[in-house]
Amino acid sequence: MPKDLPEKGDLVICTVTQAKGFGAFVKLEEYPDKKGFLHIKEVASGWVKNIREYVREGQRIVCKVMNVDPSKGYVDLSLKRVTEHQKREKIEKWKNEQKAKKLLEIVANKIGKNFDEFYNEVEEELIKKYNNLYRAFEEAVKNEKKFRKEFDAGWVDAFIEVAKQNIVVPFVEISGYVELTCPLSDGINHIIKALEKIEEENELKIRVKYISAPLYRIEVTAPDYKIAEKKLKENVNKAIEYIKKHKGDGKFIREMK
């Protein structure tokens, strides 16, 4: 379940409600009915003469939590301790979660359920598995079969349908090379079967392109570079293992010189 208050060190999305004198009062967007205070000394490095030169009413900002008093509900914040990278990352994550909640509402409507009830039913389970709701929608697009195995429930079909209609999953593409030779009379057939081993992949897009014997180019499309590199090596190794079992030889070349 969502926390009632942020913790010290957290980054939070805030909307400035009042800015004057010694600081600014803000609404904590991720924590309903909770407010925070941004002291003027935590607005920017150096001396700040007029806080309105840095923040104004209605402005949305990203702050770092400096102190929390749960008994009083006080949250002290800092603006100057947030880097531009942290700011961009936090805003993107927050916007994605807002979008995910709207998509979840569409799912609820499709299956004829009250949104609040449906949200309470699935939110904790999805976050436990994927850390946030948006990633759950991404995973439903990237790996539908695995998602269906994880959640055997009546809402899954509608969830996947909504995900496919609204989520564009980012992909990266890498390439490498493999040399395959086989001196046997039917060596070409073994090379073809070895190359088929490389393309044996249900989840990712892997293509083999002929360059010039014995060299072949392997192209892998995946959600991120780590997965792409892993699959490239794994599948090329399958081909090399196969060709060696049939009196041939193979060599993986990550980049051509």
168 pLDDT higher than 90: no
CA angle 183, 184, 188 (to 5 degrees): 85
Distance CA 233, CA 29 (A): 44
170 pLDDT higher than 90: no
- What was the pLDDT predicted at 72? 84
Rounded to an integer, the average pLDDT of 82-94 is 94
256 pLDDT higher than 90: no
- What was the pLDDT predicted at 223? 81
Q: What is the mean pLDDT of the chain?
A: 92
- Smallest CA-to-CA distance from 176 within 105, 233, 93, 248 is with 233
Does 214 sit behind a cis peptide bond, omega within 30 degrees of 0 on the bond before it?
A: yes
2 pLDDT higher than 70: no
pLDDT tens for 71-86 read 888 899 999 999 999 9
Rounded to an integer, the average pLDDT of 210-237 is 90
Model-wide pTM > 0.85:
no
* Domains in the chain with CATH codes: 11-82 (2.40.50.140), 85-166 (1.10.150.190), 172-253 (3.30.70.1130)
Distance CA 107, CA 112 (A): 9
